[in-house]
């Protein structure tokens, strides 16, 4: 099983600042890596697929990078609606696995 | 509009059974693999099971293998999860999710979820 490790667990950021979230896979997943955003009481929402492609309607302030085992999600100019929990997930191998999540909170 | 609507959750005693359903609309259901993902209260996301469009393959998390069965009825545009031998640790919101594209296997969209509570 591919273990996905996200860091940090919690990120405190002021509105307008940049947030950088990390995701590490225990073995290569190529570019088969997605990022999801989840707000309280809501289902997850796909932000990034293929490590760096934004889903339709996702603002350009969200960007994904990486391949193999190291990935990052950057949110440039955080807005109030961006404070949420973010999960990364690999879909290169079975079982599909998620990271434990990074909570982005208001500083 | 692509839509997924789960149903069938509820309170069940340990050792009991429950079947979840996911009604799909707005896309050619048979063309897409489908997935179940769960989230225990206050916890992260856990993949549960996946099934291909033609039901040719099915995969399960080790935590549910032998107890849960995924299936689909393409004529009814519906996905199912039969859950037997339920345990307290199966308590979670269960989401169904489609693969994003036929050849891009991220999960999108997701349903709103249905809560399963296993308790005596």
- CA–CA dist B15, A105 (Å, integer): 39
Residue A77 distance to chain B (closest CA, Å): 25
Closest CA relative to residue B77, chosen from B61, B108, B58, B53: B53
Q: What is the pLDDT of residues B62-98, one digit of tens each?
A: 999 999 999 999 999 999 999 999 999 999 999 999 9
Identify which of B45, B59, B107 has the shortest CB distance to residue A94: B59
Q: What is the pLDDT of residues A14-72, one digit of tens each?
A: 999 999 999 999 999 999 999 999 999 999 999 999 999 999 999 999 999 999 999 99
All residues of chain A having their beta carbon less than 8 Å from the beta carbon of residue B109 are 46
All residues of chain A having their beta carbon less than 8 Å from the beta carbon of residue B114 are none
Percentage of chain B beyond pLDDT 70 is 100
CB contact under 8 A, A96 and B44: no
Residue B12 distance to chain A (closest CA, Å): 22
pLDDT of residue A26: 98
pLDDT of residue A60: 97
Residue B46 distance to chain A (closest CA, Å): 7
- Cβ–Cβ < 8 Å for B105, B97: no
Q: What is the pLDDT of residues B39-58, one digit of tens each?
A: 999 999 999 999 999 999 99
Please check the confidence at residue B102 and state whether its pLDDT lies above 90. Answer: no
- CA–CA dist A24, B81 (Å, integer): 31
Average pLDDT for A6-16: 96
Task: Locate the chain B residue with the closest alpha carbon to A86.
Answer: B44
- CA–CA dist A86, A26 (Å, integer): 19
All residues of chain A having their beta carbon less than 8 Å from the beta carbon of residue B35 are 96
- Per-residue pLDDT band at B104 (split at 50, 70, 90): confident
- Per-residue pLDDT band at B103 (split at 50, 70, 90): confident
């Amino acid at each position: 099983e591919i273990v996905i490790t996200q860091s940090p667990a919690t990120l405190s950021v002021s509105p307008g600042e940049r947030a950088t979230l990390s995701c590490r896979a225990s073995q290569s997943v190529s570019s088969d890596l997605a990022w999801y955003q989840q707000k309280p009481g809501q289902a997850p929402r796909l932000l990034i697929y293929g490590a760096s492609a934004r889903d339709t309607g996702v603002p350009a302030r969200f960007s994904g990078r990486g391949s193999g085992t190291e990935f990052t999600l950057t949110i440039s100019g955080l807005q109030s609606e961006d404070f949420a929990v973010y999960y990364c997930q690999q879909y290169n191998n079975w079982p599909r696995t998620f990271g434990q999540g990074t909570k982005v909170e208001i500083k | 509009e692509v839509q997924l609507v789960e149903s069938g959750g509820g309170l069940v005693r340990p050792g009991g059974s429950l079947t979840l359903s996911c009604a799909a609309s707005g896309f050619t259901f048979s063309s897409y693999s489908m997935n179940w993902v769960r989230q225990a209260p206050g916890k992260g996301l856990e993949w549960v099971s996946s099934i291909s469009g033609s039901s040719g393959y099915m995969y399960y998390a080790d935590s549910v293998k032998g107890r849960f069965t995924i299936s689909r009825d393409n004529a009814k545009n519906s996905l199912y999860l039969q859950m037997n031998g339920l345990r307290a640790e199966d308590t979670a919101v269960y989401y169904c999710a489609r693969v994003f594209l036929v050849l891009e296997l991220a999960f999108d969209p997701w349903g709103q979820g249905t809560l399963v509570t296993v308790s005596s």
